Chain A
Amino acid sequence: AQRVTQPEKLLSVFKGAPVELKCNYSYSGSPELFWYVQYSRQRLQLLLRHISRESIKGFTADLNKGETSFHLKKPFAQEEDSAMYYCALPTGANNLFFGTGTRLTVIP
């Protein structure tokens, strides 16, 4: 079955420290993976997608097919990065299977 797993519900890091939010997936084929973010009192929004190979707000994510992972990384965390982060995998024609999310807190 297609699914994503985010093993950490909560993650706290100090400002300026590196951050890595873990995502593992189960998918037969070449997956297209996304990271969505929800800042406090804001709606869920796309942060980045695997296919674009882009860096958004300093975040990057590399697809590792051997480890079936799509971890989200940022070398230096900022306070404004504090949010809820969801890894997501398309399971059909543009509908998404979301992980349970990781709440990132960046400590000043």
Chain B
Amino acid sequence: ETGVTQSPTHLIKTRGQQVTLRCSSQSGHNTVSWYQQALGQGPQFIFQYYREEENGRGNFPPRFSGLQFPNYSSELNVNALELDDSALYLCASSRDLVSTDTQYFGPGTRLTVL
């Protein structure tokens, strides 16, 4: 059973703006990971949070930042939006940091940057 939710479903922004995407993890899951999925590509790892601290980061610039809260919710913030930021953003929660833990994905937020 997957209980990961994301909001909003869709979002349209213009270049240079800032955006905040939200994710609610499954209860009891201490780890949340964010991925960017461009059209025709597989999900690409942005960063991961474990117990409210960043625990790893992919090849994304600092204008991509995040937060994780004690209530199993998290945010992805993107500053100074660029056209190439247009993508589906996925969050995934898992129980802990064990590499074999199943990651449960949310439905995603589709961001369009004009």
Contact = CB atoms under 8 A, between A and B. Distances in A.
Interface of A: 9, 32, 43-46, 49, 51, 86, 88, 90-101
A71 B55 CA distance: 30
B31 A96 contact: no
B28 interface: no
A88 B44 CA distance: 11
Contacts of A46: 102-103
B2 A94 contact: no
Instruction: Report the contact-size class of chain B (Cβ under 8 Å from the partner).
Output: 20 to 34
Contacts of B4: 43
Given A93-B50, A95-B58, A100-B42, A43 B96 contact: no
A51 B99 CA distance: 11
B74 to A, nearest CB: 14
B105 A97 contact: no
Interface string B98-112: 111111111110000
B42 A94 contact: no
A94 B43 contact: no
